[in-house]
Amino acid sequence: MALKLHNTLQRDKGLQEFVPLDPQKKKVGMYCCGPTVYDFAHIGNWRTFVFADLVRRTLEFSGYDVTHVMNITDVEDKIIKRVREQKTTLREFTGKFETAFLDDLKALGCREPHQKPRATEHIAEIIALIEKLVARGVAYKAADGSVYFSIEKYRGCGCCYGQLLKLNLDEMRAGERVASDEYEKESVADFALWKARVPEDGEVFWPSPFGEGRPGWHIECSAMSIKALGETFDLHLGGEDLKFPHHEDEIAQSEGATGKPFVKFWLHGAHLLVEGKKMSKSLGNFFTLRDLLAKGFTGREVRYLLLTAHYRETFNFTLDGLAGAKSALGRIDECVGKLREIAGGTTAAPNTKLAEQFSAALADDLNISAAWAVVFEWVRETNKRIADSSLSANDAAAALAAWEKVDSVLGVGAKAEAEAPAEILALAEARSAAKKAKDFKRSDAIRDELKAKGWVIDDTPKGIKLRKL
């Protein structure tokens, strides 16, 4: 089924069928703006990264060969401020938050991006890109020693600034500049590509043909994405707050330097509110993943909850919602656990119905609510058949295989119980033989031996079951 997505470049023109640039229609290049590693990522940030993981998994499920790139922003205004305040080095400061971010990404069941470029390791590429922009006449060095992107010159070349959202460029005053990495829509102005070294930067600077300094945030993403995926690539993602200025500036820098279209599809995830409010430390609703784990929730539960709402809808995250996630996952786990019991060791090709309905839901701009409805209807029907004892081992194995296919996108399934090693299986068989021969002394001795090796044997109406202690 053709995958249709809401491409921000198309604004209100409705959904657009996703067709990769690759002439073979197989390879897909996908870039998601990564974390700014100046603190632990909060639950809002995680909504965006789990959304990116859903996009990647959906594309892989659809048979595409995806290269997923997520940068690490390890030099930027907020980082430099904290490095200065904490009297530490850039690498030491960003390193601990980068490690924490990657640990959390794993805890949330996200597939690791294939490439995780760091801005500080791409200074040469950044400088080369700025040089191109200067050579093409769309960037200039100002009296403060910094290099700025000229929106007027860029538009003068027939290029469009304001592709992702409508900007009132007529109100722009020529020559106005903005040096900070983040600014409001009202301040459309020339933005910094290279920031000249100032005393507050401390030791955070690099030499360049424009003088000592450091890159602006926006140019980092243009340089890293072009290096990893080429001058034109398929998909670029991020939270909706990044549309302006960050993504608009990425387009201007990239298209200004290469003269080619930068990205075919732009996807933006809506923001997350917590208990109905914008997250803030003073409101006490600012959660990191670690805060939620400390309250006894699991990464799987958080992932489930973040995946319950459509990516273009604002989502209200609540602790009650997380408790609900626990019970919803419990229903799936129970059903899948019973299927495993009935299937025993039997394997079978997946049933097609579940996966077909599920992928039809996702093909409609990742309609996750419809996809969950398909899953829970399947749980209900499967439970009914389990209760009727109308599932053979083969039926159960086919149902399990279908669930595993669907879960390759959702990523919330509990792992099957650990397989017992051959030595344990042999002991279990010897115990069954001893019991059959009514040699209870031997069967008890084997049970004790298994226990000493960390395994418990349960006698159930359907035979024995091995459990790890």
User: Of the two residues 242 and 336, which places its CB atom closer to ligand AMP in the complex?
Assistant: 242
Chain contacts with ligand AMP (rule: CB under 6 A): 33, 35-36, 44-45, 47-48, 238-239, 241-242, 269, 271-272, 279
The closest residue (CB) to ligand AMP is 239
User: What is the nearest approach in angstroms of Zn ion to the Cβ of residue 111?
Assistant: 20
Indicate the residue among 237 and 336 with the shorter CB distance to ligand AMP: 237
| Enclosing H/E stretch for 355 | helix 352-363
Stretch that binds Zn ion, among 78-86, 213-221, 309-317, 456-464 (CB under 5 A): 213-221
Least CB distance to ligand AMP at residue 247 (A): 10
Tell me the window of 32-40, 77-85, 123-131, 392-400 that interacts with Zn ion (CB under 5 A): 32-40
Amino acid at 407: D
Is 129 one of the binding residues for Zn ion (CB under 5 A)?
A: no
Q: Are 247 and 266 in contact (CB under 8 A)?
A: yes
Return the number of the residue (51 or 297) whose C-beta is nearest ligand AMP.
51
Q: Which among 314, 239, 307, 308 is positioned nearest to 269, based on CA atoms?
A: 239
CA distance 120 to 135: 24
In this complex, which beta carbon is closest to ligand AMP, that of residue 36 or of residue 208? 36
The answer to whether 33 contacts Zn ion (rule: CB under 5 A) is yes
- Minimum distance of Zn ion from residue 97's CB (angstroms): 17
Q: Which CB sits closer to Zn ion, 253 or 359?
A: 253
Rounded to whole angstroms, what are the CA distances from 89 to 36, 180, 194? 16, 21, 21
Angle between helices 43-61 and 352-363 (to 10 degrees): 120
Tell the residue number behind the tokens 């198309």, with chain if given.
10
Task: Using CB under 5 A, pick the residue from 221, 279, 307, 391 that binds Zn ion.
Answer: 221
HEC sequence for 279-324: CCHHHCCCCEHHHHHHCCCCHHHHHHHHCCCCCCCCEEECHHHHHH
- Residues 6 or more apart whose CB falls under 8 angstroms from that of 253 comprise 129, 133, 149, 193, 218, 219, 222
- Residue 39 binds which entry of Zn ion, ligand AMP, none, with Cβ cut-offs from 5 to 8 Å by kind? none
Assess contact for 339 and 331: CB atoms under 8 A.
Answer: no
Q: Is 428 in the site for Zn ion (CB under 5 A)?
A: no
140 burial (CB, 10 Å; 0-12 / 13-18 / 19+) is: middle
- Min separation Cβ 45 and ligand AMP, Å: 4
Instruction: Please tell me whether residue 397 binds Zn ion under the rule CB under 5 A.
Output: no
Q: Which one of ligand AMP, Zn ion, none is in contact with 221 (Cβ closer than 5 to 8 A by kind)?
A: Zn ion
Q: Which is nearer to ligand AMP, 237 or 420 (CB)?
A: 237
- Shortest distance in whole angstroms from residue 51 CB to ligand AMP: 8
- SS3 label, residue 224: helix
Q: Which spans of this chain sit near Zn ion (rule: CB under 5 A)?
A: 33, 221
